[in-house]
Structure formats: structure tokens, C-alpha cells
């Protein structure tokens, strides 16, 4: 299963949580539903230039930005809106676009100019390849080169890789002395217990081949519990299993004091994030690539974990979280 193709969130589970309330934060109406707080009115929060400067060349340039309707994408979509507006563009903010298909179609038909996307999603879902390409740079170059034919340009990606992983509660990880998946084979069978979602448990590119890749047979593993994705995080934290299937940038990893195990045999596909831009726009305004050359290196898994947690755990608005991070990194000023 591709963790980025659905309208519900790898950072909030599937299906999304029920509607929980209505808030007003910094004059931005937000809606707490499926996958965290959502900017309901497409507002663009204002900031002052920092490391990202104001470009006269972008003044009056109309740019429509988008993000999908889950927490991480809401943060990234609002980041796009605030950055490009501060840089001088006339921005329309379409963060909270339902699902990957809605954003992709908008990019293909020219209604959307730029959106953060994941290399694995581009390669496997949009371009229809069956197998991922090992290596972050190789996967990026493959999707970049092929999507140029669709009039879209993928900028060099961030380090952030939101993919599948297995996590264990921190105290148990210390007890077992485990930091990576290859170490599972050395544990007693009764300690090798898993919580997984039903689709991942049965897919050939999911749990069965993960076990095979890490040289684990039925004789090596204990109980496997099948749960809804949204339940797995808490079940893992509660000790219902030792190893829970998670997504690597989910804010609940921090909130529940879980440790993500290293996928040291590179089994899981790579989902590095980066802006995808209309090629005509980037050719006319190469300063956009300059802007994200300053931003992308700062978007790490650790940074995104904290940002997602601020929305999903602390209840902050995604637009406010995006702006505060940009300011804290010196990219923009208040």
C-alpha cells in the first residue's frame, strides 16, 4: 500500500478521526477533522523576508499552491503559500485538496502550479511503476526525468522520507538493545510480536516480504495482531505488541515515546518530499528553485515529526505551525 495515495493521513491513520471541534487561531478558521486541524478558508499567513528574500520578479505572478487533506500536507501546503507570498507572488492557497488524485489532476491540467509531493508516490502511483527504485537520488532522478514529459518539474528533494516503518516503545527498545530491523532475528521468539494493519499484513509488498527480507520465518516470530492503522500507535505504546507498523513522520511517534527502527536492508520504498512545479513556471522564474534550495535541506524527518505533533497532538493550526517553523529557521521573519 502506498502511504500517500489516500485522502486520509499517514500522520493520522485511516480512516480519519471524527470531527472534534471548531477553533479560531490567528484569524485563521480551522477545522479539526480527519487528519488534524485544517485551514478552512485558504488564507495565506503573512511574514517578512528573511533568508528567503522578496523578489521583484515575482510581483504580480499568480501562483496556485496545493496540499492534500492530511496534517503533513496541510503544513507543507501552507508553507508554500506563506513562502511564495512573502517572496512576492500573488498566491492562491488550495491546501486541503481532497486526496492525491485531486492534487495530481490539478497539476496535470494546470489548475495547480506547485505542490509538495513524494518521490515514491510519483513513481509508483502517478507514473504506474510496480517496483520502487533503491536509493534516494536514483528514485528522485527517475521520477523527475519521466514526469518532465507531463510538463512538471520535481525540485531536488528534502531529506524527509515519510514511509513505512516499525516502531517500538523506547523503554522496551533499550531493554532489548535494538535499533534496526535486522536485529529482530536475534531476539527470542516471544519478543518478536507485531501490530500491523490488515492490508499491509497480506500484501506481497508488505509484511510477508518484509519478514523474508529480514530472514524471519514463522518459527522466529510470536503473535501478529491485525489492527486499524490509527490504533497501532497506542497499542504499541501500551505494550500490546513490541513492534508496530507506523509512518516515519507521524507526530504520535514523539508523543508516545516510540523509537523507529532503522530499515537497514532498505526494504520500504522511499517517499522523499519535494515541490513539484509547472515546468513553464519554473523556467520563467528560476528563483523558485533558489527559494526551495534553501528550504528543502531543513525538512528532515525529525523536523516533520515535531511539526506534525504540534498539529495532531497539541491542536495547533497547520498554517501557524508552518509559519512559526519558517521563522524559527530564519527563512522568514515575523
Alpha-helical regions (H) of the chain:
71-86, 99-109, 119-121, 136-147, 170-176, 198-202, 207-213, 229-237, 252-255, 279-284, 287-295, 301-312, 318-328
Domain parsing of the chain, residue ranges: 21-161+273-333, 164-260
- CATH superfamily for domain 21-161+273-333: Periplasmic binding protein-like II (3.40.190.10)
How many helices, marked H, and strands, marked E, lie in the chain?
Answer: 13, 15
Element (H, E) at 169: strand 164-169
Question: What per-residue confidence (pLDDT) applies to 64?
Answer: 98
Q: In terms of CATH architecture, what is 164-260?
A: 3-Layer(aba) Sandwich (3.40)
Element (H, E) at 236: helix 229-237
164-260: same fold as 21-161+273-333? yes
Residue closest to 258 by CA, chosen among 162, 165, 161: 165
Number of Cβ within a 10 Å radius of residue 235: 15
Evaluate if residue 28 carries a pLDDT over 90: no
Contact 38, 22 (CB under 8 A): no
166-210 pLDDT per residue, tens: 999 999 999 999 999 999 999 999 999 999 998 888 877 789 999
236-276 pLDDT per residue, tens: 999 999 999 999 999 999 999 999 999 999 999 999 999 99
Give residue 2's pLDDT band: very low, low, confident or very high (50, 70, 90): low
Q: Is 207 helix (H, G, I), strand (E, B) or coil?
A: helix
295-316 pLDDT per residue, tens: 999 999 999 999 999 999 999 9
Residue closest to 253 by CA, chosen among 225, 223, 232, 226: 232
Question: What per-residue confidence (pLDDT) applies to 114?
Answer: 98
Q: Is 277 helix (H, G, I), strand (E, B) or coil?
A: strand
Question: What per-residue confidence (pLDDT) applies to 42?
Answer: 81
Number of Cβ within a 10 Å radius of residue 69: 25
Q: Is residue 222 reached through a cis peptide bond, with omega within 30 degrees of 0 on the bond before it?
A: no
53-110 pLDDT per residue, tens: 999 999 999 999 999 999 999 999 999 999 999 999 999 999 999 988 999 999 999 9
Q: How does DSSP assign 46-97, residue by residue?
A: --EESSS---GGGTT-EEEEEEESSHHHHHHHHHHHHHHHHTT-EEEEEEEE
What is the sign of the dihedral through the CA atoms of 325, 328, 333 and 334? positive
Residue closest to 44 by CA, chosen among 324, 319, 284, 271: 319
b/e burial code for range 208-228 (CB count within 10 A of at least 16 → b): eebbeebebeeebbeebeebe
Rounded Cα distance between 82 and 44, Å, is 6
Question: Measured between alpha carbons, how far is residue 18 from residues 3, 8, 13, 231, 328 in Å?
Answer: 20, 12, 12, 14, 32
Contact 26, 320 (CB under 8 A): yes
Rounded Cα distance between 155 and 304, Å, is 19
- Phi then psi dihedrals of residue 5, to 5 deg: -100, -5
DSSP 30: E
For the chain, what's the residue count? 334
Evaluate if residue 31 carries a pLDDT over 60: no
Q: Is 218 helix (H, G, I), strand (E, B) or coil?
A: helix
Amino acid at each position: 500500500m502506498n502511504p500517500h495515495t489516500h485522502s486520509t493521513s499517514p500522520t493520522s491513520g485511516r480512516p480519519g478521526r471524527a470531527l472534534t471541534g471548531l477553533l479560531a487561531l490567528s484569524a485563521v478558521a480551522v477545522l479539526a477533522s480527519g487528519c488534524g486541524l485544517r485551514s478552512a478558508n485558504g488564507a495565506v499567513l503573512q511574514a517578512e523576508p528573511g533568508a528567503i528574500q522578496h523578489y521583484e520578479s515575482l510581483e504580480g505572478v499568480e501562483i496556485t499552491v496545493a496540499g492534500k487533506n492530511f496534517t503533513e500536507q496541510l503544513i507543507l501546503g501552507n508553507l508554500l503559500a506563506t513562502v511564495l507570498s512573502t517572496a512576492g507572488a500573488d498566491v492562491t492557497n488550495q491546501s486541503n485538496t481532497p486526496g492525491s488524485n485531486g492534487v495530481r489532476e490539478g497539476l496535470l491540467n494546470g489548475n495547480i502550479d506547485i505542490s509538495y509531493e513524494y518521490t515514491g508516490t510519483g513513481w509508483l502511483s502517478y507514473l504506474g511503476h510496480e517496483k520502487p527504485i533503491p536509493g534516494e537520488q536514483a528514485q528522485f532522478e527517475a521520477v523527475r526525468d519521466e514526469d518532465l514529459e507531463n510538463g512538471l518539474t520535481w525540485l531536488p528533494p528534502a531529506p524527509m522520507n515519510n514511509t513505512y516503518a516499525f516502531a517500538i516503545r523506547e523503554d522496551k527498545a533499550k531493554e532489548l538493545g535494538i535499533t534496526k530491523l535486522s536485529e529482530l532475528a536475534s531476539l527470542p521468539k516471544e519478543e518478536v510480536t507485531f501490530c500491523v494493519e490488515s492490508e499491509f499484513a497480506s500484501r506481497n509488498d508488505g509484511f510477508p516480504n518484509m519478514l523474508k527480507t529480514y530472514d524471519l520465518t514463522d518459527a522466529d516470530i510470536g503473535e501478529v495482531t491485525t489492527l486499524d492503522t490509527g490504533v497501532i500507535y497506542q497499542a504499541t505504546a501500551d505494550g500490546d505488541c513490541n513492534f508496530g507498523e507506523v509512518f516515519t513522520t507521524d507526530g504520535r511517534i514523539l508523543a508516545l515515546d516510540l523509537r523507529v527502527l532503522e530499515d537497514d536492508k532498505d526494504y520500504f520504498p522511499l517517499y522523499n518530499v519535494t515541490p513539484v512545479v509547472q515546468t513553464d513556471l519554473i523556467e520563467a522564474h528560476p528563483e523558485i528553485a533558489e527559494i526551495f534550495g534553501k528550504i528543502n535541506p531543513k525538512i528532515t524527518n525529525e523536523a516533520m515529526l515535531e511539526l506534525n505533533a504540534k498539529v495532531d497532538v497539541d491542536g495547533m493550526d497547520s498554517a501557524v505551525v508552518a509559519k512559526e517553523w519558517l521563522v524559527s529557521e530564519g527563512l522568514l521573519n515575523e
